[in-house]
Amino acid sequence: MRSTLPTWLFLASLAAGALLGLRQWREHPVQPRRDFLVFDRRGSLLPIFTDPKAAETETTAASLLQETLAAASGLPRGYFPIRSAENPPRGIRGLRFRLAPKPAGNPLAHPIGYRVGADGIELSATDPQDFVGAAGWFLERSVGARWFMPGLLGREVNRLRRLELPAGEWHSEPGYYSRNLGLGGSGSDNAEWHARNRLRPLFEHSHTVDWLITREDMIARPELRPLSNGEPLLPRKGSTAWQPNFTSAAVVEHLTQRLREQFRRDKDRLSIAIGQNDSWRWDQSEETLASVAPHRHFRHYPDYSNTLFAALNRVAERLAPEFPDRFITTYAYQWTENVPRFPVHLQVLPYLTADRSQWFDPAFKAEDQDILRRWGQAGPKFFGIYDYYYGSPFFVPRPTLHAVRESIPFAHGAGARAFYAECHPNWGLDGPKLWLAAQLLWDPQTDSDALLDEYFVRFWKEAAEPMRRFFALCDEAYVRQPLPGYWIKYFKDDHQRVIFPPEVRNALWAELARAADLARTPIVRERLALVRAAFEVSDLFCRHDEARDELSRLTHDPRTSSDTLRLAVTKFTTARARLVQALAKVEREHPLALSATLIPEYLRNDPRPRALRRLAEAGAAAATEDSFVQSVFAGRKPTSSELTAKGTELLQDRGFGTVKAKDIHPFIALDWNEPGGPWVGQSEPFETRKVQLSESGDQPAAGSAQLSALSAQLRSIRYSGVNQEGFYQTVPAEPGVLYRATVRVRGKVRPGNMTFLFLSFGGTDSKNLDSGFIDRLPVGEWNEWTALEMIVRAPAKAAYLGFGLRALYQVNDDFVEFAEPSLQRLSNFVPE
Beta bridge partners of 292: none
The residue among 325, 201, 226, 205 whose CA lies nearest residue 274 is: 205
| Segment 263-290, tens digit of pLDDT | 999 999 999 999 999 998 999 999 999 9
Q: How confident is the model at residue 708 (pLDDT cuts 50, 70, 90)?
A: very low
Q: Which residues of 167-178 are buried (b: 16+ CB within 10 A; e: fewer)?
A: bbebbbbbbbbb
Q: How large is the average pLDDT for residues 83-87?
A: 80
Residue 640 CA to residue 645 CA, distance in Å, equals 8
Residue 157 CA to residue 458 CA, distance in Å, equals 9
| Segment 210-247, tens digit of pLDDT | 899 999 999 999 999 999 988 999 999 889 999 999 99
Return the number of other C-beta atoms located less than 10 Å from residue 262's C-beta.
13
Residue 279 CA to residue 243 CA, distance in Å, equals 7
Return the number of other C-beta atoms located less than 10 Å from residue 232's C-beta.
14
Residue 664 pLDDT greater than 90, yes or no: no
Length of the chain: 832
Helix residue spans in 561-687 (DSSP H): 562-589, 599-602, 608-617, 626-633, 640-644
Residue 527 CA to residue 523 CA, distance in Å, equals 6
Average pLDDT, the chain: 90
Q: What is the DSSP string of 677-712?
A: SS-EEEE---TT-EEEEESSS------HHHHHHHGG
Q: Which residues of 581-595 are buried (b: 16+ CB within 10 A; e: fewer)?
A: ebbeebbeebebbbb
Residue 224 CA to residue 218 CA, distance in Å, equals 5
- CB distance 113 to 103 below 8 Å: no
Q: How confident is the model at residue 696 (pLDDT cuts 50, 70, 90)?
A: low
Higher pLDDT, 779 or 631: 779
What pLDDT, on the 0 to 100 scale, is given for residue 88? 67
| Segment 151-168, tens digit of pLDDT | 999 999 999 999 999 999
Residue 811 CA to residue 791 CA, distance in Å, equals 30
Q: How confident is the model at residue 700 (pLDDT cuts 50, 70, 90)?
A: very low
Residue 86 pLDDT greater than 80, yes or no: no
Residue 22 pLDDT greater than 60, yes or no: no
What pLDDT, on the 0 to 100 scale, is given for residue 764? 85
Sequence-distant (≥ 6) Cβ neighbours of residue 820 within 8 angstroms: 654, 655, 715, 742, 743, 744
Give burial (CB, 10 Å; 0-12/13-18/19+) of 253: middle
Residue 307 CA to residue 143 CA, distance in Å, equals 53
Angle 380-382-385 (CA atoms, 0-180°, nearest 5)? 115
Residue 151 CA to residue 193 CA, distance in Å, equals 8
Residue 309 CA to residue 784 CA, distance in Å, equals 48
Give burial (CB, 10 Å; 0-12/13-18/19+) of 16: buried
| Segment 732-769, tens digit of pLDDT | 999 999 999 999 999 999 999 999 999 999 998 877 87
Q: How confident is the model at residue 715 (pLDDT cuts 50, 70, 90)?
A: confident
What pLDDT, on the 0 to 100 scale, is given for residue 829? 52
- CB distance 731 to 823 below 8 Å: yes
Residue 251 CA to residue 243 CA, distance in Å, equals 11
Q: How confident is the model at residue 344 (pLDDT cuts 50, 70, 90)?
A: very high
Residue 34 pLDDT greater than 80, yes or no: no
The residue among 80, 67, 65, 71 whose CA lies nearest residue 4 is: 71
What pLDDT, on the 0 to 100 scale, is given for residue 44? 72
| Segment 117-150, tens digit of pLDDT | 988 999 999 999 999 999 999 999 999 999 999 9
Residue 5 pLDDT greater than 50, yes or no: no
Higher pLDDT, 585 or 595: 585
CA end-to-end span of the chain, whole Å? 75
The residue among 544, 526, 527, 217 whose CA lies nearest residue 396 is: 544
The residue among 527, 421, 511, 426 whose CA lies nearest residue 472 is: 511
Distance of CA 620 to the CA centre of its chain: 45
User: 188-192, 361-365, 558-562, 707-711: which range is least confident on average?
Assistant: 707-711
The residue among 274, 277, 281 whose CA lies nearest residue 310 is: 274
Residue 567 pLDDT greater than 90, yes or no: yes
Q: What is the CA radius of gyration of the chain?
A: 30
Q: How large is the average pLDDT for residues 803-826?
A: 96
Residue 313 CA to residue 349 CA, distance in Å, equals 11
Q: How large is the average pLDDT for residues 50-61?
A: 91
Q: How confident is the model at residue 89 (pLDDT cuts 50, 70, 90)?
A: low
Please tell me whether residue 72 adopts helix, strand or coil conformation.
helix
| Segment 771-797, tens digit of pLDDT | 899 999 999 999 999 999 999 999 889
Return the number of other C-beta atoms located less than 10 Å from residue 731's C-beta.
15
- CB distance 290 to 227 below 8 Å: no
Higher pLDDT, 455 or 86: 455
Residue 315 CA to residue 308 CA, distance in Å, equals 11
Q: How large is the average pLDDT for residues 252-267?
A: 97
- pTM value? 0.92
Residue 355 CA to residue 368 CA, distance in Å, equals 10
Higher pLDDT, 703 or 739: 739
What pLDDT, on the 0 to 100 scale, is given for residue 449? 97
What pLDDT, on the 0 to 100 scale, is given for residue 663? 86
- CA quadruple 89, 90, 95, 101: dihedral positive or negative? positive
